[in-house]
């Protein structure tokens, strides 16, 4: 893989993956990062990478829904592999405005697959990043496996399910070498502050209310983002073409437990001025429509076949994540204020 296209590389997981590939992995090729720079895409996440790896990193502001532009990039840069992160990915936003999810997650994926098919003679791999949400909701027992039937419950998860099926179809119909990974909830550095964990960290640090949907008993499996990046690269290197791999964090927790753990860690580090416990800031709010009860990933296939397992427990990962947000207040404020958008306009128009 000499010329890898990474889509959505300025987003949370994509930026961490680009960093991992260039700074820590055995990847020796060039990365072409294509990102539309929507609200959660921030090229400042990789500003130092752009400086330090000038010969191996190229950023292009472009929309994967623009089929002609994608074709041009494949041709110009001799793309021989793809790691496809780019997606609209926030459930609440998909409920309010589903059309953007249909366009980006389905049409955008189709455009990339078509460009890859046209250049199939040199394509080593098309790896597609998906989510455990395509499987729907679990009861209090059982786990999602790679053979769990799809049953998406939100416009977001339905659009991701559609893109998964397209990717698999291009393998079956055209023989395009593909792999798919369905991951559980990621957390870690550079995550946009609207997501649960960074929102709770920042609000709790500042003594603001901590909104929790419903009764807080919805269960998620939490995956530290660097563990996810290692899993992706492992799949891309030694995974079997045509196969799907579930990636889980082995950290199944109720949302309320996550919030309480963050509160307790921050109380250890920095007590509130009025002496209250941060748990007193927890505020239960009206549940969102179609809120899945529980997700839990069985990643035994990935463990058995490719010898991957997460290195971070939730306890260690959440402490590192909290510390990162405390140490990067400037980044937080630029994202919250929208200041990063001015930087984007100045540099990329």
Report the catalytic residues. 132-133, 156
The burial of 346, by beta-carbon neighbours within 10 Å (0-12 exposed, 13-18 middle, 19 or more buried), is given as exposed
Is the Cβ–Cβ distance between 245 and 297 less than 8 Å?
A: no
Q: How far apart are CA 212 and CA 200, in angstroms?
A: 9
Q: At residue 153, what are phi and psi to the nearest 5 degrees?
A: -120, 0
Instruction: Give the start-end residues of each E strand in the chain.
Output: 3-7, 30-35, 57-61, 81-84, 125-131, 178-183, 185-187, 210-213, 219-224, 244-247, 252-254, 282-285
User: Is 337 exposed, middle or buried, given 0-12, 13-18 or 19+ CB atoms closer than 10 A?
Assistant: exposed
Q: Are 56 and 21 in contact (CB under 8 A)?
A: no
> Within 10 A of 259 (CB to CB), how many other CB atoms are there?
26
Q: Which of 332, 252, 290, 255 is nearest to 92 (CA)?
A: 290
Helices and strands (DSSP H and E) totals, the chain: 14, 12
Among 81, 106, 112, 306, which residue's Cα sits nearest to residue 177?
81
Task: Assign residue 58 a region (left: φ > 0; alpha: ψ between -120 and 50; beta: otherwise).
Answer: beta
Q: How far apart are CA 130 and CA 102, in angstroms?
A: 15
Backbone Cα Rg of the chain = 20
Q: How many CA atoms lie within 13 A of 216 on its CB side?
A: 14
């Amino acid at each position: 893989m000499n010329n890898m296209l990474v889509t959505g590389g300025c987003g949370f997981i994509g930026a961490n993956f680009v960093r991992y590939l260039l700074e820590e992995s055995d990847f020796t090729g060039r990365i072409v990062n294509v990102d539309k720079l929507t609200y959660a895409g921030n090229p400042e996440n990789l500003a130092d990478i752009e400086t330090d790896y000038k010969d191996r990193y190229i950023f292009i502001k472009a929309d994967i829904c623009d089929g002609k532009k994608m074709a041009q990039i494949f041709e110009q840069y001799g793309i021989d592999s793809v790691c496809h992160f780019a997606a609209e990915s926030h459930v609440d936003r998909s409920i309010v405005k589903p059309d953007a999810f249909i366009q980006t997650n389905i049409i955008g994926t189709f455009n990339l697959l078509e460009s890859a098919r046209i250049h199939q003679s040199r394509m080593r791999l098309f790896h597609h990043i998906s989510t455990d949400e395509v499987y729907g909701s679990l009861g209090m027992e059982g786990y999602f496996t790679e053979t769990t039937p799809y049953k998406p419950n939100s416009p977001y998860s339905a659009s991701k399910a559609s893109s998964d099926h397209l990717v698999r179809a291009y393998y079956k119909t055209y023989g395009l070498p593909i792999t798919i990974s369905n991951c559980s909830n990621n957390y870690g550095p550079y995550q946009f502050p609207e997501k649960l964990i960074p929102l709770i960290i920042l609000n709790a640090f500042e003594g603001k209310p901590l909104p929790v949907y419903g009764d807080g008993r919805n269960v998620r499996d939490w995956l530290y983002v660097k563990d996810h990046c290692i899993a992706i690269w492992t799949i891309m290197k030694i995974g079997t073409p045509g196969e799907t791999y579930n990636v889980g964090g082995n950290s199944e927790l109720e949302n309320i437990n996550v919030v309480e753990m963050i509160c307790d860690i921050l109380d250890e580090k920095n007590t509130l001025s009025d002496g209250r416990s941060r748990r007193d800031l927890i505020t239960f709010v009206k549940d969102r429509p179609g809120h899945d009860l529980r997700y839990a990933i069985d990643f035994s296939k990935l463990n058995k076949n490719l010898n991957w397992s997460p290195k971070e427990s939730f306890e260690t990962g959440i402490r590192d994540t909290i510390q990162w947000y405390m140490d990067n207040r400037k980044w937080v404020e630029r994202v919250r204020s929208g200041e990063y958008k001015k930087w984007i306009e100045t540099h990329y128009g």
